[in-house]
Amino acid sequence: MSKPTHVAVFDFDGTLLPKTQKSLFDIMDKTLSEGHRKEIEEIRQNFFKKFHSNQLTPEEDRLFYFQAAKVYIKAGLSVSKVKSVLAETKLRPFVPETIRFLHEQGVPIAIISYSYFQWIDFVCEQNGVSSFISKIYAANLVIKDGLICGYRPETFVFSENKGVFSRQFARQYGVPEENILAVGDSAADARLGYLKKNRLGLARDQAEKEKIQEFFGEVIITETFDPVLEWLEKKLAG
């Protein structure tokens, strides 16, 4: 196989997953007991309050994430429960076709997400695209006897290191940073990929488009991936 000219990196929640669907965190939180659910909801409320007011520091970002992970561990969440709850989770319409297209074009694909590796991997498998994904950058959980019992902090993805992982992925294939094509949906993806002009944002409406426009070279309002495929085709054509 010839050396690739580009790589493609995608956010997951709100990007490969529809914005109309809850995030994987929201789905998994429903499996928790009332006490654990209240605990994690309080963590998330504090996080989003600071995130949306642009007051969140990198240190606080990590703290909130680690606190949430510890709740899942404390709750004794099992892999079988995770799989049963995520079994019906669907990717956006036309995502599988887009991923297959990139694979056929010899473009390596990575998912770089704030979510958990095992959850993303299972949803990709259920949707028939896991064999086309070269790498998933996401928090890797430690599983023992079918239960989540820990996490590997060095694998956690935050807004500020999405660019680091993007460039790391490109270097793996000898692709220049300028040829990283990135697709995200929020301010958290401001560092996804490398060049702003090669970063596409997905919005649900005009208000959201205006809110995230500064972080992307282009923003489109869509719930399907058809226009994403068109954008990728144009970028690959040069």
In this predicted model, what pLDDT tens digit does every residue of 92-151 receive, in sequence order? 999 999 999 999 999 999 999 999 999 999 999 999 999 999 999 999 999 999 998 998
Q: Which two tokens stand for residue 186?
A: 């929020």
Higher pLDDT, 119 or 25: 119
- At 30 the pLDDT is 82
- At 55 the pLDDT is 75
Contacts of 7 (CB under 8 A, 6+ apart): 107, 108, 109, 110, 169, 170, 173, 175, 179, 180, 181
Element (H, E) at 59: helix 58-74
Residue 22 has pLDDT above 80, yes or no: no
Q: pLDDT per residue over 172-214, tens digit each?
A: 999 999 999 999 999 999 999 999 999 999 999 999 999 999 9
Cα 6 to Cα 151: distance, rounded to the nearest angstrom = 32
Cα 111 to Cα 108: distance, rounded to the nearest angstrom = 10
Neighbours of 106 (CB within 10 A): 14
Cα 60 to Cα 112: distance, rounded to the nearest angstrom = 20
Q: Which two tokens stand for residue 214?
A: 């500064």
* In 87-192, alpha helices (H): 95-104, 117-126, 162-172
Cα 126 to Cα 133: distance, rounded to the nearest angstrom = 13
Whole-number mean pLDDT of the chain?
A: 92
Per-residue pLDDT band at 8 (split at 50, 70, 90): very high
Q: Match 């680091």 to its residue by tokens.
A: 164
Residue 155 has pLDDT above 90, yes or no: yes
Cα 107 to Cα 129: distance, rounded to the nearest angstrom = 14
Per-residue pLDDT band at 52 (split at 50, 70, 90): low
Element (H, E) at 28: helix 24-29
